[in-house]
Structure 1
Amino acid sequence: MTSPASRIPGAALVASAMREFGQMCSLALDIVVQTFRRPFQAREFIQQFWFIASVSIAPAILVSIPFGAVISLQLGSLTSQIGAQQFNGAASVLAVVQQASPIVTTLIIAGAGGSAICADLGSRTIREEIDAMEVLGVSPIQRLLVPRVLAAILASMLLNGLVSVVGVIGGYFFNVIVQGGTPGAYLSSFNALAQLPDLWVSTIKAFIFGFLAGVIASYRGLNPRGGPKGVGDVVNQSVVITFLLLFFVNTIITALYLQLVPAKGT
């Protein structure tokens, strides 16, 4: 006899999603625990970090320039309408550092590095390499997943700083050169309103987002269905899930930050 939940497609879908989420959280916890166990796979970590950085640096820079330009142009137009041009620099820089930079960084990490991690682990899974490692007593989490997740975290944090610098420079160029703003007013408004926690929250976001991108890519890569075609499916799923979870977590962190950290001068 079928259960009431099985007769309701929506309930079955929710139950499946919750089960997947629970398994993903369990894997994330295992990765955290295995991170502090020895031996640490330093060579694998360096190789994965170099790969993720090499495929992400150029796209991150190219994406950060129009991001900074659009933010600066939009805010410049808005502040000129309300007579607050002197605050354009602070608003542009804070928007780039707090919001745009960690989001752009993680989108690139998930789209370039995360998809490669998922495809690699998915290929190993369908070739039964993961099962063979477990039979030999080798932990796939410690040997394969921990170096990849740590590499995604480190690459995300470093790229976040690079994207912040490039985005601020792009915003400065478009505000001062294109819109005819004053360089002194741009910089002085930033110094007046910006504070060190703004940089810290951006770094924390990059750390959390990089961890989420690595965990999601690893989890989907370990659970492909349908052979080689399933590997392609889980790669797409990992990118989409990372994007959706990224914006949800970013909203929570931003709300907490605005509530817990008072604005400068208040």
Structure 2
Amino acid sequence: MSGQAAPERPNIGQPWSEAAPLRPLRGVGGFFAMALDTLVTMFKPPFAWREFLEQTWFVARVALFPTLLLAIPFEVLTVFTFNVLLVEFGAADLSGTGAALATVNQIGPFVTVLVVAGAAASAMCADLGARTIREELDALRVMGIDPIQALVVPRVLAATVVALLLSSLVTLTGLAGGFLFSVYFQHVTPGAFIAGLTLITGASDVVVSMVKATLFGLTAGLIACYQGTHVDGGPAGVGNAVNQTVVYSFVLLFAINVVLTAIGFQVTR
């Protein structure tokens, strides 16, 4: 017995250790594959109009009030900081110029998508994640229904449309808040503020802002749907997927914003 070799224990962790470095790459590949499938399926009939309208109303209802409440402090803080600098140079009448430039190019689309990604996209991910662990997506496939067409496309389009519409509303709300703060608290001339709005900011900046909001909403919706449809591990996996949706959305949106801002200034200036 003493000279007999002990049986070799299986290396239980070996398969995991081999697959672990490839998991991020597989996740990125799976995300782009689902994104491509979604973009292609958008133009294939039939379109799930009822699901699209329900999701659009849901995203708008969840994101509208928090977005407007978040837009005003962002705009007021920007205008206050910018006006302090302008007063030092004796150019307080240009307050409207800085307010318009900051609101149209950054605050409008960015505040919108922060709320859409943080509230609406996380709710989308939780809903799809719950459907996934209940095997509802597998049931749809068995019945011959494509989950991408029935569930993912309406949600992605809803997030995109609402982000675009809310961005315009946030821009107007932010400019109104900046006007009231500048005129009544920092004693800027109302006429000078209004006249400075279009001094630098033009139609091309508005178009770039709309493109930003559209891409932001599309990206947040795709991330939420991918995380929700690739949940594993039961209810705990749904919670992890929601957290990952918010984190990945914010990181990717910051990166997209840097690229689009640089391109936008090169095109419009």
1:165 aligned to 150, 172, 175, which one? Answer: 172
Task: Specify whether residues 177 and 122 from structure 1 end up closer, same or farther in structure 2 by C-alpha distance, changes over 3 A only.
Answer: same
CA distance in 2, matches of 1:157, 1:132: 34
CA distance in 1, matches of 2:213, 2:60: 14
CA distance in 2, matches of 1:87, 1:179: 13
Instruction: Please identify, of 83-92 and 93-102, the stretch whose mean Cα deviation from structure 2 is larger.
Output: 83-92
2:133 alignment counterpart: 126
Alpha-carbon shift at residue 80 of structure 1 (Å): 1.1
1:46 aligned to 53, 60, 65, which one? Answer: 53
Listed as ranges, the matches of 1:93-104 within 5 Å are: 93-104=100-111
2:87 alignment counterpart: 80
Q: RMSD of the alignment, in Å?
A: 1.8
1:260 alignment counterpart: 267
Q: Report the residue type matching 2:106 in the other structure.
A: Q
Q: Provide the secondary structure at the position in 2 that maps to 1:193.
A: coil
In our comparison, the structure showing a higher alpha carbon Rg is 2
1:154 alignment counterpart: 161
Alpha-carbon shift at residue 7 of structure 1 (Å): 11
Alpha-carbon shift at residue 225 of structure 1 (Å): 2.1
Alpha-carbon shift at residue 87 of structure 1 (Å): 1.9
Q: Report the residue type matching 1:123 in the other structure.
A: A
1:222 alignment counterpart: 229
Point out where structure 2 has 5 or more consecutive residues left out of the alignment. 1-10
CA distance in 2, matches of 1:47, 1:60: 20
1:115 alignment counterpart: 122
- Indicate yes or no: 2:148 matched with 1:141: yes
Alpha-carbon shift at residue 83 of structure 1 (Å): 2.5
Point out where structure 1 has 5 or more consecutive residues left out of the alignment. none
Task: Specify whether residues 19 and 84 from structure 1 end up closer, same or farther in structure 2 by C-alpha distance, changes over 3 A only.
Answer: farther
Instruction: Please identify, of 246-255 and 107-116, the stretch whose mean Cα deviation from structure 2 is larger.
Output: 107-116
Alpha-carbon shift at residue 98 of structure 1 (Å): 0.8
Listed as ranges, the matches of 1:10-89 within 5 Å are: 13=21, 15-89=22-96
Give CA deviations for 1:90-119 in whole Å, capped at 9, x if unaligned: 111110111011111011111111111100
1:203 alignment counterpart: 210
Q: Report the residue type matching 2:229 in the other structure.
A: L
Q: Provide the secondary structure at the position in 2 that maps to 1:40.
A: coil
CA distance in 2, matches of 1:228, 1:219: 17
CA distance in 1, matches of 2:53, 2:25: 34
Give CA deviations for 1:111-137 in whole Å, capped at 9, x if unaligned: 111111100100000000111111221
Q: Indicate conservation of the 8 Å contact 2:205/2:268, yes or no.
A: no
Instruction: Please identify, of 73-82 and 16-25, the stretch whose mean Cα deviation from structure 2 is larger.
Output: 16-25
Give CA deviations for 1:224-244 in whole Å, capped at 9, x if unaligned: 121011101101110110011
CA distance in 1, matches of 2:71, 2:16: 48
Alpha-carbon shift at residue 82 of structure 1 (Å): 2.3
1:174 aligned to 181, 199, 203, which one? Answer: 181
